[in-house]
């Protein structure tokens, strides 16, 4: 929980991992006590919530002061996880970024290289594209109302989206022009029997495509992400955002959370 201190007073927010909570606008703790989603950052997989009651504790953020905390390699951290003891770990290095690879949205087609107009060269069986009726040789016209005149333009538009997003896709076959709403899926991954991929909880589905983050080796399972990372001096360092591997958990640094809250709070404060 974040206690956001601004000139107009203190506001309490909960901040967590968006892909664990979803887009439901209001969650009910118990009758009459609600948590409302007030902001979502898909790029950082963050969701900001506000509660209708005052809660004890939390970490203090000053709305007038953003602090970038130095994260030296080898620094010890704690991470609180509901239902089990505090997890300890070591920071693996300075801030990094991870390109979107496993988190690319899955439509299920390949487009002929350098084709103009963009022409479908492969449709994977049982994919969102196949279920929508796309066929080999179809020409893509637009995505979400934006015209695409080449394979490069289409790929660029698709890479800006995320699994779970809806798109309006328009395409042409030999006889007709079609337009449908399609739900993008999670990129399929092959099964692995390697010991490095066999551990409790496994990897998070969304575990890359982040601009700034740090690694640590505390044991945080995918469903436990959205929990705080704290220094041994009890300073708030960031938020667990994904289990990356058997030995690594990803966390967003505190200044990323600050910017997210500041952007959401600024219209009212």
- Among 3-17, 25-39, 168-182, name the most confident range: 168-182
For the segment 12-21, the average pLDDT, to the nearest whole number, is 89
**H or E segment to which residue 222 belongs:** none
Listed in order, the ranges of the chain carrying CATH 2.30.42.10 are 105-186
pLDDT of residue 31: 64
For residue 105, which of 125, 128, 123, 122 has the smallest C-alpha distance?
A: 128
Which one has a higher pLDDT value, 135 or 70?
A: 135
pLDDT of residue 97: 87
In the 8-state DSSP scheme, what is residue 150? S
Rounded-to-integer distance, Cα 98 and Cα 44, Å: 11
pLDDT at position 113 over 70: yes
Output the CATH code of domain 2-99+195-265.
Answer: 2.40.10.120
- Mean residue pLDDT across the chain: 88
- The band of 269, judged by pLDDT with boundaries at 50, 70 and 90, is very low
Percent of the chain with pLDDT over 90: 49
pLDDT of residue 30: 58
pLDDT at position 268 over 90: no
- Among 52-56, 132-136, 262-266, name the most confident range: 132-136
Which one has a higher pLDDT value, 114 or 109?
A: 109
pLDDT at position 134 over 90: yes
- The band of 94, judged by pLDDT with boundaries at 50, 70 and 90, is confident
For the segment 146-157, the average pLDDT, to the nearest whole number, is 90
Burial of 42 (0-12, 13-18, 19+ CB in 10 A): middle
State pTM to two decimals: 0.84
Q: What is the pLDDT of residues 231-258, one digit of tens each?
A: 988 889 999 999 999 999 999 999 999 9
pLDDT at position 91 over 60: yes
pLDDT of residue 41: 92
pLDDT at position 217 over 80: yes
Lowest model confidence (mean pLDDT) among 19-28, 169-178, 251-260: 19-28
pLDDT at position 26 over 90: no
For the segment 215-226, the average pLDDT, to the nearest whole number, is 93
Listed in order, the ranges of the chain carrying CATH 2.40.10.120 are 2-99+195-265
Asked whether the beta carbons of 258 and 61 are under 8 A apart, the reply is yes
Burial of 225 (0-12, 13-18, 19+ CB in 10 A): buried
CATH fold of the domain at 105-186 = Pdz3 Domain (2.30.42)
pLDDT at position 48 over 50: yes
**H or E segment to which residue 130 belongs:** helix 128-132
């Amino acid at each position: 929980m974040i206690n956001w201190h601004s000139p107009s007073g203190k506001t309490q927010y909960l901040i967590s991992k968006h892909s664990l909570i979803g887009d439901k606008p209001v969650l009910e703790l118990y009758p009459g006590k609600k948590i409302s989603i007030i902001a979502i950052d898909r790029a950082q997989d963050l969701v900001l919530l506000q509660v209708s009651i005052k809660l004890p504790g939390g970490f203090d953020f000053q709305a007038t002061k953003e602090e970038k905390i130095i994260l030296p390699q080898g620094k010890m951290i704690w991470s609180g996880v509901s239902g089990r003891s505090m997890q300890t770990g070591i920071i693996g290095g300075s801030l990094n970024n991870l390109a979107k690879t496993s988190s690319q949205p899955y439509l299920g087609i390949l487009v002929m290289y350098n084709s103009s107009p963009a022409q479908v060269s492969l449709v994977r069986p049982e994919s969102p594209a196949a279920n929508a009726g796309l066929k080999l040789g179809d020409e893509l016209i637009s995505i979400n109302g934006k015209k695409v005149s080449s394979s490069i333009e289409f790929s660029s538009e698709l890479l800006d989206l995320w699994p779970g997003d809806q798109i309006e896709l328009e395409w042409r076959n030999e006889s007709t022009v079609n337009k449908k709403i399609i739900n993008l899926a999670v990129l399929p991954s092959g099964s692995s029997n390697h010991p490095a991929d066999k551990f409790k909880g496994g990897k998070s589905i969304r575990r890359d495509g982040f601009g700034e983050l740090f690694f640590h080796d505390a044991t945080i399972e995918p469903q436990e992400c959205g929990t705080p990372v704290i220094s041994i001096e009890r300073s708030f360092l960031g938020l667990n955002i994904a289990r990356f591997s058997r030995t690594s958990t990803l966390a967003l640094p505190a200044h990323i959370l600050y910017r997210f809250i500041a952007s959401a709070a600024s219209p009212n404060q």
